[in-house]
Amino acid sequence: MQKNGGKTADGWEVHFGVNYLAHFQLIQLLSPTLQDSQDPRIILVSSSHLTKGRINFETLKNGEPSRSSRGVTQEYCDSKLMMALWGYQLQKYLNNIKIITVSPGWCRTGLGREHGTPWVILPFIIIPLALFSQSAEEGADSVVYCILKSTLASPVFIKNRKSVPAIQRYLEENDRLGSELWDFSISAIEEHK
C-alpha cells in the first residue's frame, strides 16, 4: 500500500475501500444470518486517531487521497472515523445485535514494511515504536475481550478493555455525518453491483 495513494479495483481510495467499504458491504450481506444467531455481536476495529479524521464525500467519489503530510495518513484516520460512525449507525438498523468498536492501540506489526520509508527517517520511527507501542498480541487483547465479554453495552467504543466516553460523545455528536456516510455507502455499493 502506498502512502496517501492507490485505488481499489473499483476506483475508491484504498483506505476507504479496504478499511471501511469492504467491511460495510460484508456486514450488509451477513446481517440476515447474524440476526438469527444466539448472542450476536459485531466487533469493528477502529482507532483513537478517528478524532483526526474527516469525511469529504466529493473526494471519496473521485477516489482521490487527501494528500496529508502527517505521519499517520489522513486517509487512515478518515477510514477509522468512518468505521466508528458506521458502528453507531449500524446499531440503529440491527438493534438486536451488539455493535462494539475497539481500538487495539499502536501495535508493532509488519503492516508498514512496504511503506517505502527513507532510511534516514527510520530512527525517528523505530525509537518511539520501541518505547511506546505494544506487541500485536497485546493489541489483540481488547479485541478478544470484546468478543468474550457478554455484558458490554452497545454501541460502545473500547480501548484497553475500557469504554472511552470522550470518543463515544464525539461519535454521538457526529450522528448526522454518520447518517450521511450510511447513505453514501449504500449508494457506493449499489453503484458497483
Q: Is 88 a catalytic site residue? A: no
Contact between 13 and 3 (Cβ < 8 Å): no
Q: Which of 20, 76, 88, 93 is catalytic?
A: 76
Q: What DSSP state is assigned to residue 155?
A: S
Nearest C-alpha neighbor of 139 from the set 173, 166, 104, 185: 104
> What is residue 111's three-state secondary structure?
coil
Pairs from 1-5 (Cβ < 8 Å, separation ≥ 24): 1/114, 1/115, 2/116, 3/73, 3/115, 3/116, 4/65, 4/66, 4/67, 4/68, 4/73, 4/74, 4/75, 5/65
Please name the helix (run of DSSP H) or strand (run of DSSP E) that holds residue 87, with its range, or none: helix 74-93
What distance lies between CA 60 and its chain's CA centroid? 16
Torsion on CA atoms 184, 1, 46, 135, rounded to nearest 10: 170
Cα separation, 175 vs 92, in Å, equals 11
Q: Catalytic residue numbers?
A: 76
